[in-house]
Amino acid sequence: MNERLDALLSARRDGVLETSERAELERLLATHAAARDRAAAFERVDEALRSLAAQPVADARLARNLARLEERSGSESSSGTASPVVGRGRVLDIRDRDRDRYGYGMAAAAVGVAAVWIGMLVLAPTGVQMETEMVIGEPPDAAREAISTEDLAGLGIDQVGDLEVIEELELLEFLAARERSEEGPRG
């Protein structure tokens, strides 16, 4: 079945057929059984997707996520920027949360830089310092810079904002992993 028919059928389903296209499609549908079958198949796809989206989500799961959202938004705060969540007495202060995250990030970067200097001082006379530096001493930012522009384009990362959020998420993952390791395994 040709691409043109698919485009027309799809446009019809979304109500964006132009007058001339509508006439073209009606002619195809009137004269080709295969076109009618294709139209029915398109309809079934939409129904299947709606059915998929309509699968119920357990109330308990939503409630658990709401509770987790409140936890993540921070404990009760008296700061002026706080934004309470759903009136349960807890408040959000996302600016503080972000400050904490960046605080951890800066600390991690400082540790990385210190490791480079210590590594250089301790291992300078030996023949293994280059490899050691590359593996241990490279701070996270330098590692990121090693990714080429082409790599980033290939990943679809084309905005500074994306990188900032990725950095933020990486830090979140690190903090979550640390939290998990501190809490021990769960059932």
Q: Among candidates 50, 68, 72, 70, which has minimal Cα distance to 60?
A: 68
Q: Which pair of structure tokens corresponds to residue 139? A: 């701070």
Q: Tell me if 53 contacts another protein by CB under 8 A.
A: yes
Rounded Cα distance between 151 and 167, Å, is 16
> Tokens 């990943």 correspond to what residue?
155
Rounded Cα distance between 91 and 152, Å, is 37
Alpha-carbon distances of 135 from 71, 116, 124, 132, rounded to whole Å: 37, 10, 15, 5
Amino acid, single-letter form, for residue 42: F
Stretch that binds another protein, among 99-107, 108-116, 134-142, 156-164 (CB under 8 A): 156-164
Q: State which of positions 59-78 bind another protein (CB under 8 A).
A: 61-62, 65-66, 68-69, 72-73
Q: State which of positions 16-45 bind another protein (CB under 8 A).
A: 16, 38, 41-42, 44-45
Q: Least Å distance between CB 18 and another protein?
A: 12
Q: Least Å distance between CB 153 and another protein?
A: 5
Q: State which of positions 84-123 bind another protein (CB under 8 A).
A: 84-87, 92, 94-95
Please identify, using beta-carbon distances, which residue of 46 and 131 lies nearer to another protein: 46
Per DSSP, 75 falls in state S
Q: Least Å distance between CB 4 and another protein?
A: 10
Please identify, using beta-carbon distances, which residue of 27 and 61 lies nearer to another protein: 61
Q: Which pair of structure tokens corresponds to residue 25? A: 């499609």
Q: Among candidates 20, 21, 19, which has minimal Cα distance to 6?
A: 21
Q: Point out which residues bind another protein (CB under 8 A).
A: 3, 6-7, 9-11, 13-14, 16, 38, 41-42, 44-46, 48-53, 55-57, 61-62, 65-66, 68-69, 72-73, 83-87, 92, 94-95, 147, 151, 153-158, 162, 165-166, 169-170, 173
